[in-house]
């Protein structure tokens, strides 16, 4: 019985050897399908497979897959942030239990999904920017904290702080936040106040001074060029340093009224450059080190118009991988005139 990959349940077993459209063997018959295997099938553009349970009976395809569960959790988090945002706008505070109610189930599902790039691509949609951005920052802050070796509880605290960093934007005029042109000096000064507003709202809402501090400091930079207090490296809270990296990456890879989204790997390159004086180097390098392997197997559109697949990260230049286009291979570290325009699952 053939089922759609999105209907596969973790724990199902593959009924036949599976190949992609190019004839490349992807998974063998009898492979137990977990999140990583399901992601691999999606990465290779495989839509339908044969599955069977351990006992040899066909699995019912109606139960949601892990990807569907994660996507549903994303929707819940976005809706939850909208609730917090509107409540903070009208009351100057929010119900902190809502944060835990939407965040805890999502983080539990993230523990089962190690392919962060696929999650980011799933979040590439037309939701209201501030809400989607808050979700991405919370999610990425969680992963970064995990990669840096923080405890489970600390990872949760860091993720929650990241999820809330932009709550202060509720006090900024939507016309100003969505202005397509360049802001005046006065307008930019008002937008920068979202950090202070966020600090105040969180302090009014929950007994968590650290989360409030992260909202206040997530635009500070190690060389003192950030805001609102021009803090330097030793003065910025470590949680805020993590949230800052997640914030910059999410902002640069998201479409906004005044900028087009940038390609994911090129943004990692820019983050690497920012790690020398702007963003915390240890945090940025952990982010890059753990994210880059997730790009292997992803489909890409090149600026030549060709579609290809990333097959290997390049040790010479990690930001310009080896790409297979039909039956030939392009080493982008050598083919400097060719660039990746878009990445797909």
Phi and psi (nearest 5°) for 147? Answer: -65, -25
Q: What percent of the chain has pLDDT over 70?
A: 91
Query: Looking at residue 181, what is its pLDDT?
Result: 86
**Averaged over 267-281, what is the pLDDT?**
97
Phi, psi of 176 (to 5 degrees): -75, -45
* Verdict on whether the full-model pTM lies above 0.85: no
pLDDT at 86 (0 to 100): 92
Quick one: pLDDT at residue 57?
42
pLDDT of residue 118: 85
Residue 55 has pLDDT above 70, yes or no: no
Rg of the chain's alpha carbons, rounded to an integer?
A: 21
The model's confidence at residue 30, banded by pLDDT at 50, 70 and 90, is confident
Q: Between 272 and 60, where is the model more confident? A: 272
Residue 64 has pLDDT above 70, yes or no: no
Question: What is the side-by-side order of every strand in the sheet holding 340-344?
Answer: 328-331, 322-325, 307-312, 299-302, 340-344
- 257, HSE (Cβ side, Cα atoms, 13 Å): 13
pLDDT for residue 244 is more than 90: yes
What confidence tens digit (pLDDT) does each residue in 89-119 have?
Answer: 999 999 999 999 888 888 887 877 778 988 8
If you average pLDDT over residues 278-293, what whole number do you get?
96
Residue 185, judged by CB atoms within 10 A of its CB (0-12, 13-18, 19+), counts as: exposed
The contacts of residue 116 (CB under 8 Å, 6+ apart) are: 140, 143, 290, 291, 294
For 73-82, the pLDDT digits (tens) are 788 888 888 8
Q: What 3 state SS string does the chain have?
A: CEEEHHHCCCCCEECCCEECCCCCEEECCCCECCHHHHHHHHHCCCCEEEEECCCCCCCCCCCCCHHHHHHHHHHHHHHHHHHHHHHHHHHCCCCHHHHHHHHHHHHHHHCCCCCHHHHHHHCCCCCCHHHHHHHHHHHHHHHHHHHCCCCHHHHHHHHHHHHCCCHHHHHCCHHHHCCCCCCCHHHHHHHHCHHHHHHHHHHHHCCCHHHHHHHHHCCCCCECCCCCCCCEHHHCCHHHHHHHHHHHHHHHCCCECCECCCCHHHHHHHHHHHCCCCCCHHHHHHHHHHHHHHHCCCEEEECCCCEEEEEECCCCCCCCCEEEECCEEEECCCCCCCCEEEEEC
Question: Which residue in this structure is represented by tokens 């349970």?
Answer: 53
pLDDT tens digits, one per residue of 143-175? 999 999 999 999 999 999 999 999 999 999 999
Per-residue model confidence as pLDDT tens digits over 166-200: 999 999 999 999 898 899 999 999 999 999 999 99
């Amino acid at each position: 019985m053939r089922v759609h990959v999105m209907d596969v349940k973790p724990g199902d077993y593959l009924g036949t050897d599976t190949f992609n459209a190019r004839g490349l063997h992807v998974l063998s018959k009898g492979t137990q399908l977990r999140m990583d295997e399901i992601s691999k099938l999606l990465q290779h553009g495989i839509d339908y497979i044969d599955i069977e349970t351990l006992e040899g009976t066909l699995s019912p395809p109606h139960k949601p897959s892990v990807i569907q569960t994660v996507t549903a959790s994303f929707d819940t988090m976005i809706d939850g942030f909208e609730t917090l945002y509107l409540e903070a706008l009208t009351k100057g505070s929010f119900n902190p239990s809502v944060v835990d109610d939407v965040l805890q189930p999502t983080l539990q599902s993230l523990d089962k999904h190690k392919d962060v790039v696929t999650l980011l691509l799933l979040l590439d949609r037309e939701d209201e920017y501030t809400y989607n951005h808050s979700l991405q920052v919370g999610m990425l802050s969680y992963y970064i904290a995990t990669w840096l070796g923080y405890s489970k509880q600390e990872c949760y605290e860091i993720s929650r702080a990241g999820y809330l960093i932009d709550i202060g934007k509720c006090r900024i005029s939507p016309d100003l936040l969505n202005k397509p042109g360049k802001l005046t000096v006065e307008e930019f000064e008002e937008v920068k106040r979202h950090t202070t507003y966020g600090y105040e709202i969180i302090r009014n809402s929950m007994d968590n001074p650290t989360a409030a501090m992260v909202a206040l400091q997530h635009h500070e930079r190690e060389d003192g060029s950030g805001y609102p207090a021009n803090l330097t490296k030793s003065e910025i809270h470590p949680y805020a340093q993590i949230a800052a990296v997640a914030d910059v990456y999410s902002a640069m890879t998201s479409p906004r009224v005044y900028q087009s989204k940038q390609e994911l790997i090129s943004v990692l390159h820019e983050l690497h450059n920012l790690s020398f004086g702007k963003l915390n180097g240890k945090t940025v390098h952990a982010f890059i080190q753990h994210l880059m392997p997730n790009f292997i197997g992803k489909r890409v559109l090149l600026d030549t118009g060709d579609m290809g697949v990333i097959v290997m990260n390049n040790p010479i230049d990690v930001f310009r991988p080896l790409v297979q286009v039909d039956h030939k291979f392009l080493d982008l570290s050598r083919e400097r005139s060719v660039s990746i325009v878009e990445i797909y699952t």
